[in-house]
A and B are shown apart, each in its own frame.
Chain A
Amino acid sequence: MKPDTPALFTETALVRRKYRQETVAKWVFFVMAAAMIIPLLLIVGYLMVKAAPSLTLGFLLDVPVRGMTEGGIWPAFVGTIYLVFISLAISAPIGILAAVYLNEYARDNWFNRVINLAVINLAGVPSIVHALFGLGAFVYAARFGYSILSASLTLAIMTLPVIVASTREALASVPRSFREACWNVGATRWQTIRAVVLPNSISGILTGVILQVSRAAGETAPIMFTGAVFYKAIEKGDLFAYGLHEQCMALSMHLYTISTQVPGVKESIPYATAVVLLGSVLLVNAAAIALRVYMRSRTKW
């Protein structure tokens, strides 16, 4: 930018234009940022208003009645809990150990770059392809049939790469000097990991795993063909309703079916189901974020 005026530090037309442009730019970007948030609020607000007549504790604990046109969502809610916990019980250990390998053991050679690439691509595989895989591998090839087991395994593989990524980030945030101090007193690699690295990164790891609760709870496509059913009769409030080799209902699937397939559903019920699904997902996420913010404020390095 060529200064075209001899007098320094005075406001020239150029400078004024420059600042005007900045103000405009700032507002444009602000509007763009706001444009993402406003729909979120509007949508959540609209869903809440529409759902209000059905949003009671009874709705959560009751079973669907009269051809799923009335009543609650308990079987679907329990089914989702089953799927989420079983899938995370499978993917969390594998994912955490994989991240430990990648962050603590792996050297920067071609093989480990391939592993990295695999993790990234696993994260990008469309959920419907996971469904195809789950159907081909678990339902048919492994003969698990349509079951909670098949669905959970499919979900586990889907959530794995994100757990690996978030755990790696948490492990990488532990300063190297901590490890060096530990090695210097004669600890082996694993002893160092157990005594120093994991205790210092556990909150980050947990946050990553908790965030996957919401991902697993919200997915529909992978479970639609591997173990979620349209309807299953269980007792109201029964927490141990499903066996590992049975199929179950799931919240996400339930929302899909009652909004596309069941006639004469009371208007507020699909909205209320959406709100319960959205609400539990956002609550879990908010908890994870709060945990992260809290732990970050306590970090001593």
Chain B
Amino acid sequence: MTTTPYLHRILRLTGTTAVLATALCLSGCGRGEGKDEIIRVSRQSSSGTYEFFREHVLNKKDFKLGSRDMNGSKEVVELIANTPGAIGYSGMGYHEPGRVKMLPVALKAGAPPVEPTVVNTLNKSYPIARSLLIYTLGEPEGEVKRYIDWTLSDAGQKIVETSGYVPLQPNEHRKFDAPAASTGPKVTLQVKGSDTMVNVAQAWAEAYKKVAPHVDVEVSGGGSGQGIAALIKGTIHICNASRNMKAGEIEQAKKNTGKTPKEIVVGYDALAIYVHKDNPIQSITLEQLAGIFAEDGTLTKWSQLAAPAP
């Protein structure tokens, strides 16, 4: 063999590239945002939270690309807790005191910022509060009805509260007749949808197993979009959603299954804006949020928010 084999050259080339890449990385040329840069943390587009945020904060404009789109509400909070320059949105149930903080939100500049608390959510003074919903195909019947009645009872609503959300007012609670539900042939209820609600749904399923041992509740997340899609296909019994079904989706469900989706409010959530615990920023307005997250937004640095870099 007189000629150097080409593999040899490949080897040498990759070796050189490896060295270069390492050097690049160590010298800090690998871009990455500076301290002042706002790191946007968002959700994947199947999430109801994502759509709610787009509708109510961005006024239906699109998100700016390049945000970190997490697959779960917990991942959002987790990333923000580890990243000083980050800002993101998630359900209030995912708050981790001491690691992240929730920013008070003002409707517009000059208006008083409002904390995302239970009281402010119930009296609707918090600007981005929403209902937690479940949908069924047609009026709920049989075991599905019993299950839903139970989630709306005192016991079910207690779980909403312990999961970190806002339960319905006591006068909205339903009566639940426990003994009647505790027997019957084995049934499986399929629940799917919102990631915001998946922890509530899971806690319900866990507790309901004790109330009615013959009912197996299967809970899946995936996002409100996924739940609604599955409801339209008729493959699940109950859909969790953190946004309302769109008119088109209701039409489609009617066409596909012949039944009208029934909407039931099971609790309330304040869509909280999270930042790192050491971030000095005190409050934020909806306009500023739109400026950060929207496609045509111009806010990319913390200093533009009249806040020092975290």
Distance, CA A231 to CA B203, complexed state (A): 9
Q: Which chain B residue shows the least CB distance to A249?
A: B218
Is A263 part of the binding interface, using a Cβ–Cβ cutoff of 8 Å? Answer: yes
Contact A263 B220 (CB under 8 A): no
Taking a contact as CB atoms closer than 8 A, the residue among A65, A232, A264 that contacts B219 in the complex is A232
Is A119 part of the binding interface, using a Cβ–Cβ cutoff of 8 Å? Answer: no
B110 to chain A, nearest CB (A): 34
Is B96 part of the binding interface, using a Cβ–Cβ cutoff of 8 Å? Answer: yes
Is A191 part of the binding interface, using a Cβ–Cβ cutoff of 8 Å? Answer: no
Contact A231 B205 (CB under 8 A): yes
Asked, given contacts A146-B235, A233-B208, A261-B71, whether A67 binds B199 with beta carbons under 8 Å apart, the answer is: yes
The size bracket of the interface on A is 20 to 34
Contact B202 A68 (CB under 8 A): yes
Contact B205 A233 (CB under 8 A): yes
Contact A264 B220 (CB under 8 A): no
Within 8 A of A (CB), among B216-246: 216-221, 235
Is A284 part of the binding interface, using a Cβ–Cβ cutoff of 8 Å? Answer: no
Asked, given contacts A230-B219, A234-B216, whether A260 binds B203 with beta carbons under 8 Å apart, the answer is: no
Is A158 part of the binding interface, using a Cβ–Cβ cutoff of 8 Å? Answer: no
Distance, CA A227 to CA B309, complexed state (A): 46
Residue interface bits B182-209, CB-to-A below 8 A is 1, else 0: 0000001010000100110111011011
Interface stretch of the complex, out of B72-80, B251-259, B286-294: B72-80
| Across-interface contacts of B127 in A (CB, < 8 A) | none
Contact B206 A233 (CB under 8 A): yes
| Across-interface contacts of A246 in B (CB, < 8 A) | 188, 216, 218
Contact A261 B77 (CB under 8 A): no
| Across-interface contacts of B235 in A (CB, < 8 A) | 145-146
Residue interface bits A253-275, CB-to-B below 8 A is 1, else 0: 00001001111100000000000
Residue interface bits A213-227, CB-to-B below 8 A is 1, else 0: 000000000000000
Q: Taking each of A68, A233, A234, which has the highest tally of chain B beta carbons within 10 Å of its own beta carbon?
A: A233
Contact B163 A232 (CB under 8 A): no
Contact A247 B220 (CB under 8 A): yes
Q: Which chain B residue shows the least CB distance to A228?
A: B220
Is A210 part of the binding interface, using a Cβ–Cβ cutoff of 8 Å? Answer: no
Residue interface bits B34-78, CB-to-A below 8 A is 1, else 0: 000000000000000000000000000000000000111111010
Contact B208 A263 (CB under 8 A): no
| Across-interface contacts of B77 in A (CB, < 8 A) | 263
Contact A229 B74 (CB under 8 A): no
Within 8 A of A (CB), among B92-129: 93-94, 96
Q: Which chain A residue shows the least CB distance to B159?
A: A67
Taking a contact as CB atoms closer than 8 A, the residue among A146, A231, A263 that contacts B206 in the complex is A231
Contact B209 A233 (CB under 8 A): yes
Contact B74 A232 (CB under 8 A): no
A28 to chain B, nearest CB (A): 11
Asked, given contacts A247-B190, A261-B195, A262-B199, whether A231 binds B219 with beta carbons under 8 Å apart, the answer is: yes
| Across-interface contacts of A146 in B (CB, < 8 A) | 190, 220, 235
| Across-interface contacts of B188 in A (CB, < 8 A) | 246
| Across-interface contacts of B96 in A (CB, < 8 A) | 263-264
B83 to chain A, nearest CB (A): 16
| Across-interface contacts of B217 in A (CB, < 8 A) | 232-233
Contact A262 B74 (CB under 8 A): yes
Asked, given contacts A261-B71, A261-B195, A264-B96, whether A230 binds B190 with beta carbons under 8 Å apart, the answer is: no
**5 tightest A-B contacts by CB?**
A261-B72, A233-B209, A260-B72, A231-B219, A231-B202
Interchain Cβ contacts under 8 Å between A and B, 9 examples:
A146-B235, A231-B202, A232-B205, A247-B190, A257-B72, A260-B75, A261-B71, A261-B72, A263-B94
